[in-house]
Structure 1
Amino acid sequence: MSATHNLAKALVENHEVELVALRRNRDQAFFPLDPRVKTLALTDYRKHSHTYDGDDPQIDVFPHIYPNDPSDKKPWISRLAEKRLLEYLATTDADVVVSANPRITIMLAYAEGDYLKVAIEHSRPAQYGPHIRDALFADAYPKMDAITAPTPEELKTIARHVPGVRHMLAELPNCIPAHEGRMSTGENKIVVAAGLLKPHKGFADVIEAFSTVAPRHPDWSLRIYGSGPEHANLRRKIDETDSNNQVFLMGPATPVIPEFAKASLFVLPSEREAFGNVTVEAMAAGLPAICYDAPHGPRNIITQGEDGYVVPVGDKEALAEHIEKLISDDDLRRKMATAAVANVVRFQEAAIAERFERLVETMRARRAVPREAAAAVTPQGDVLVRVDGLAAGSDARLVCKDVRKKAEDVVLPFVGGEALVPAVGRLAEGDWELTISAVDSDLPLHSTGCDTTYIPSMKHHRPEGPALSLLLPYAHTDGTLRVQSRVRAQHVEVATVRAGATSIVVDAAAWGVGLGGDSLVEAVHREEADKNFTLPVKPGADGHFTATLDNAAAARLHTSGTEDIWELWLLPDQESARIRMCKLATEVLAPMNVFTFRYPVVKSSGAPIRADAETKPKAGGWRGRLAAAPAAVAGVGGPHHELRPYFASNGQLSLKIVDKK
């Protein structure tokens, strides 16, 4: 909350600023607030106040949107506060609304106002409980205009969890007020640490580290400021290390900044630290800092060897070594103190206000970029992307991004508001997100429609270049425009699958590869190679062929109580690599959901077939024919097996055999 108050103070120099709280239960704010900042509390829990809301029946009703903790017996934030916040957000004349709390960010996503929406993260959102994190990532973040975090590492984490918002991310360190009190003289032989006394803050480590240094420097002491559940354990640690005359638990100090002026060195041995306001405050007071390399703040605050040191988390020997180094060398300590004061200016009010104002201008510029786009497949198979409202002379570019991040971006020009994605030679196999490059950002395009009318009648077999090269535009589940690129140097397209009671017949065509008299279809088991088998191929005209599976023989390969899955491949000859048999020459995005088949049921008896001398792999990966194995014998009362031919998520023809219940 102090960072929010500091940012409000920084912005009020040039802007009208209002802080809105969901509830108020004390007369004075815990952190000092600039009187120029307006304040509004939406519910009042002070019984002596004339605006007291404690007798409103909705004060004890759980909210509908705001995520209270699931274990709460009574709502911390009530339905009354929630309704008042939604009303405020719907009627405010603000240009920018900032949420500094993830729960309120979820509320902000529902707001109807036309203002810019900013979510400021001071913590690590991936670590939030699922009742907050899921709603934040899936629903709230995508509706923001910007999402900030204090460190670049945290921005990368958010981008990894929510790729669709990476264009909104901006680094905004916590705002720290310019130091106005007394500065450290560097003369007092005091090491200071401060924070909540919790296990992850590592104060036990600094006590141990300092206790190894203290005997050689009896005139130095360590002061730890703060309160918390670790107080008793830290007291015992002082006793155990016999440091009672040099290590002191000072209790809480509010504010703690004046205490920094009494010291000459600051230590923060925290195991995790989203940023580290106290480190900046200590450095601003003229203290070099020694910190654990906690994720992620200290390494983004301290310039190693210039204004302090970052040491590996848990390395108490390194902590002690650097403490001794600085308390032993007055000149080095003073040099680092001077650098610390200069370096942390970038986190103070004027610098952070300037960063925030630049962010606002960027958000406004991004909003002005048209992002509604329609895609249409041309008779030649190219994809024409048209962005509504894009000026004819715009220097914006269409940027195609590989969703898997395996291929480089493909950048194409807009001409008259249109960009053409060629069917051949530009997009590698995979899914591609379409963005518009403008305002130094790649902004996702939102689909207004995808016309794939020409694909069903298109001749997909290409005599030159890749055998198959098909672009399929579609709207992703989040509404953004994407293109699925299906590219195969050689390809086997499945035409039909006829699943009958005794056999499954597959008709397909091989593109970009010839068929010979020894061509086979190979069924490759996903887990057990000794269940692999092959089928003979009956060639036809123009690369077409037929392969027939004997259902009973295949069922003999099934192990009862399990799922057996095979993927089907074409083996053109004994020297060539196998080729997936797929259903890809279609405008259907997910063939597995559309092209479905009957599931024959087979009754069989006897032991399952295992590879013998005739069916074991031969040189070059060549398989024996299933027909060479002993024939299956249908038996009365034997196990029932269900054969399920299907197209997998990658379009490959597969076969699953399960027990029929």
Structure 2
Amino acid sequence: MKITFLLHNAYAIGGTVRSTLNLAAALALRHDVEVVSVLRTEERPLLGVSGRVRLVPLVDERPGAASYDGDHELMSRPSAVVPPTEVLAHRYTALTDERLRAFLDTTDADVVVATRPALVVTLAGHGSVGSRRPPGASRASGPTRRGPLLIGQEHLSYDNHVPGVREAQNAAIGRLDAFVTVSARDAADHRLHLAGLRTRITNIANAAPRPRAEPSDLRVPLVVAAGRLFPVKRYDLLVEAFAKVVAERPEWRLRIYGKGPERANLCALIDTLGLNDHVFLMGPSATLETEWPKASVAVVSSEWESLGMTILEAMHAGVPVVATDCPHGPGEILTDGTDGLLVTPNDPNALATGLLRLIDDPELRRRVGTTGRTTVQRYAPRVIATEYEQLIADLQEARAAATVKLRRLLRRTRGWLPSRADQDPGTPEPPTAGAKGGAAKGGAAKPGAAKPSAVESAAENAAPKPLRPKAGCRVGGRGEVRVSVTGSGLSGAVLTLVLRRRHAVDDEVRVPLRQDTPGDAESPWTATLHHDERDLAEDRWDLHVERDVDGARRRLRAGPVEQRGLLTAEFPDRSPVAWWIPYTTKDGYLALRAFHRTAHAEVTALPVGDDSIAVEGVLHGAALGEGATLVGVARGEGVADLEAPVRRTGERRATGRPGFHARLTSLPDPAGPDKVIWDLFLRPSPDAEPIRLGRLFDDIVDRKDTDKYPAVTMPTPGGAAPQARFFFTVTNDLAVAVS
């Protein structure tokens, strides 16, 4: 059976994209599955697509791409099909109308599934979807094929569409074979409002695959939330609740993953509540499966959820969830007190109480997280795929039954007897052997193609196969990095992991790769980088695999990059100070960010007052002596013209080392309009070399967009009152900017 999903943009990050690709991958184990992406905005899908699933983009929005459609004359005309109030209506044009129409006219799919209102309306409004005859065939070539089953999906809920979209989708649903919501309550709402429709309205949850990353050990004092930064997610309420958590448990942190229009408002709220060292807006992440295991608590603060994919993902990682008991999903997934906690919606006190209940009770965290890992098996892709297969089978049976009734009626009234070819037009022909996937997936050889000779076969077998290396990695308890390269993309008896310094290409580090099970082609090849065995210069390092037999070298594509160990790793109590953070580059490769310094002053907090700013931290690789000072060096001048005394504070529990504190109550007068940044250093004693201040010791590769601090009005000797704020540089070092 051929199943086609219509998706707005398979190359983006979002809940609908993630759930659709999960379901497509599961169905592709037994069927021919394709995902038609109306738009293409990236070279590769950010969330990845199963190799069994065919991806078909219709309109290319990538400037510079050979297939770029942005200059097409139809791109300037609005869609004539999509409701203008649809939230993404501005992305649909006359060109998307044309490309969708052309696709639907010629598809040979047995089932077409539309995943958002714009596509539901387009699918239902197109009339007869699918070619009635193969393209180019004449009437004499045989009977026509009945069109595919048409299924719409609801990834929001009945009450959460604007009026124009609601009416358009309601009208469209009546022209579909089935309409699927992700919660039982929402299916009931649709049936209530659309009584009398013959369309089958049912509910099937989203699929949540088991992650490749290890589950959480629940040791890190970290709460994680994820989702679009939209008002419905009520992250403002979550930030307010977390202020109450911090008042009782100041060592805990909150990370919110996602992007959206609420970011500026949330930044302002974090500033107002003074939570800049506790709440971090992390931006979108394509690899949440490796972010959930870092958490000890997950939280959903929404005022409504169609289902709650983040709940399922957190449960897979063994992370206990606190969720508002909002319509519709959380209450259908979680049983309060057993595999999660449900709290009153729109109540920051209730949310804070739920969070503190798990934070204060490690045994409850463990028990709820463990039970959650059992509950979430109900949403395994194979289970959800089976439910869709049953729905499709029911629809086909109903269609076939209707055809049988029609034949009987015609027999009685006109004596008409259908030909054998017309017996069951609703049932697809079985695929021939080797046909699955077709040419697009590298199908069988063409008939009549010459077979290679024995000599040619031997030569082909002797030649090294292409290197297509892909690797995951995991950080251990001492900061060591274990790289594991999948065996399927490798060939050769001797392979080497090569680390190449990005800004000094002649600087390389070579580490032998060892196969876990020698001789097994599928067995991974591994290497572990230890801090006490090698030094890496401070820079970004790209990872490659090199084959000894011919010197072929290929850059490593990234699999799961598990950084959780960095959050509990031993701090480097030595000189030089070294810290390595493996990460995935924007284009999907594995890289390592290395920090290497004689000594380092790690910033732990940046308290901001009404008229002052302060630095708190711990010194590594050197001793803090009497007369220590905070030093600011004017950017571009190389002159230390800012100083403040540093006092010693109590021993830090995490490091066992004494802390330091310095407070700035005034700033020098800038020498000119360009002299507005001071890079900050710690001078441990009057005659010592200054040591850079920064934040290195966790899993964050780039802090410029995650660690934000408000501006404070501070006086200068000349009587000015500029706005000063802390920020982190591209090297994760601390500076003060003045405006």
d(CA) in 1 for partners of 2:242, 2:381: 34
How far off is 1:126 after superposition? 4.3
d(CA) in 1 for partners of 2:344, 2:204: 25
1:262 and 2:314 are equivalent in the alignment: no
1:289 and 2:321 are equivalent in the alignment: yes
Q: Which residue of structure 2 aligns with residue 78 of structure 1?
A: 93
Q: Which residue of structure 2 aligns with residue 122 of structure 1?
A: 155
- Change beyond 3 A, Cα 1:226–1:19: closer
Instruction: Tell me which amino acid in the other structure corresponds to 2:154.
Output: E
1:354 and 2:386 are equivalent in the alignment: yes
1:2 and 2:18 are equivalent in the alignment: yes
Q: SS at the partner of 1:42?
A: strand
How far off is 1:43 after superposition? 2.6
Q: Which residue of structure 2 aligns with residue 367 of structure 1?
A: 399
Q: SS at the partner of 2:299?
A: strand
Instruction: Tell me which amino acid in the other structure corresponds to 1:338.
Output: T
d(CA) in 1 for partners of 2:78, 2:281: 41
Matches within 5 A, 1:74-473: 76-109=91-124, 110-112=126-128, 113=130, 114-138=147-171, 140-165=172-197, 168-370=200-402, 388=409
Q: SS at the partner of 1:283?
A: helix
1:35 and 2:51 are equivalent in the alignment: yes
TM-score normalised to structure 2 length: 0.48
Instruction: Tell me which amino acid in the other structure corresponds to 1:132.
Output: V
d(CA) in 2 for partners of 1:54, 1:233: 32
Matches within 5 A, 1:45-56: 45-56=61-72
Instruction: Tell me which amino acid in the other structure corresponds to 1:256.
Output: L
How far off is 1:371 after superposition? 8.8
d(CA) in 2 for partners of 1:260, 1:390: 63
- Change beyond 3 A, Cα 1:390–1:130: farther
Instruction: Tell me which amino acid in the other structure corresponds to 2:162.
Output: G
How far off is 1:115 after superposition? 0.9
How far off is 1:353 after superposition? 0.8
d(CA) in 2 for partners of 1:179, 1:40: 26
d(CA) in 1 for partners of 2:252, 2:62: 47
Contact 1:86–1:111 under 8 Å retained in 2:
no
d(CA) in 1 for partners of 2:279, 2:61: 41
- Change beyond 3 A, Cα 1:77–1:227: closer
- Change beyond 3 A, Cα 1:82–1:216: closer
TM-score normalised to structure 1 length: 0.53
Instruction: String of CA shifts for 1:325-384, please: whole Å, max 9, x gaps.
Output: 21122111101101111111222311111111111111111212339999xxxxxxxxxx
Matches within 5 A, 1:560-571: none
Structure 2 gaps of 5+ residues are 1-16, 131-146, 413-739
Q: Which residue of structure 1 aligns with residue 38 of structure 2?
A: 22
Q: SS at the partner of 1:120?
A: strand
Instruction: Tell me which amino acid in the other structure corresponds to 2:251.
Output: D
Contact 2:174–2:199 under 8 Å retained in 1:
no
d(CA) in 1 for partners of 2:269, 2:38: 41
Q: SS at the partner of 2:101?
A: helix
How far off is 1:149 after superposition? 0.3
- Change beyond 3 A, Cα 1:329–1:68: same
Q: SS at the partner of 1:261?
A: helix
- Change beyond 3 A, Cα 1:232–1:71: closer
d(CA) in 2 for partners of 1:206, 1:58: 44
Q: SS at the partner of 2:190?
A: helix
Contact 1:60–1:75 under 8 Å retained in 2:
no
- Change beyond 3 A, Cα 1:111–1:51: farther
Instruction: String of CA shifts for 1:484-503, please: whole Å, max 9, x gaps.
Output: xxxxxxxxxxxxxxxxxxxx
Contact 2:86–2:165 under 8 Å retained in 1:
no
d(CA) in 2 for partners of 1:49, 1:252: 24
Contact 1:370–1:389 under 8 Å retained in 2:
no
How far off is 1:219 after superposition? 3.3
How far off is 1:58 after superposition? 3.0
Question: Match for 1:66 among 64, 68, 82?
Answer: 82
Instruction: String of CA shifts for 1:571-629, please: whole Å, max 9, x gaps.
Output: xxxxxxxxxxxxxxxxxxxxxxxxxxxxxxxxxxxxxxxxxxxxxxxxxxxxxxxxxxx
d(CA) in 1 for partners of 2:353, 2:69: 56
How far off is 1:101 after superposition? 1.8
How far off is 1:180 after superposition? 1.3
d(CA) in 2 for partners of 1:367, 1:287: 44
How far off is 1:102 after superposition? 1.5
Instruction: Tell me which amino acid in the other structure corresponds to 2:202.
Output: A
Q: SS at the partner of 1:164?
A: coil
Q: SS at the partner of 1:48?
A: coil
Structure 1 gaps of 5+ residues are 375-385, 392-661
How far off is 1:122 after superposition? 0.6
d(CA) in 1 for partners of 2:356, 2:221: 12
How far off is 1:289 after superposition? 0.6
- Change beyond 3 A, Cα 1:84–1:217: closer
d(CA) in 2 for partners of 1:71, 1:253: 22
Aligned length: 378
d(CA) in 1 for partners of 2:328, 2:28: 29
Contact 2:177–2:199 under 8 Å retained in 1:
no
- Change beyond 3 A, Cα 1:280–1:81: same
How far off is 1:284 after superposition? 0.9
How far off is 1:166 after superposition? 6.7
How far off is 1:285 after superposition? 0.8
Instruction: Tell me which amino acid in the other structure corresponds to 1:115.
Output: P
d(CA) in 1 for partners of 2:198, 2:373: 33
Contact 1:159–1:166 under 8 Å retained in 2:
no
d(CA) in 2 for partners of 1:237, 1:3: 32
How far off is 1:322 after superposition? 1.8
Q: SS at the partner of 1:23?
A: strand
- Change beyond 3 A, Cα 1:127–1:213: closer
Q: SS at the partner of 1:159?
A: helix
Q: SS at the partner of 1:333?
A: helix
Q: Which structure has the larger Rg over C-alpha atoms?
A: 1
Deviates most, 230-239 or 333-342: 230-239
Contact 1:9–1:37 under 8 Å retained in 2:
yes
Q: Alignment identity in percent?
A: 35
Q: SS at the partner of 1:187?
A: coil
d(CA) in 1 for partners of 2:116, 2:273: 41
Instruction: String of CA shifts for 1:520-567, please: whole Å, max 9, x gaps.
Output: xxxxxxxxxxxxxxxxxxxxxxxxxxxxxxxxxxxxxxxxxxxxxxxx
How far off is 1:292 after superposition? 0.9
d(CA) in 1 for partners of 2:310, 2:275: 25
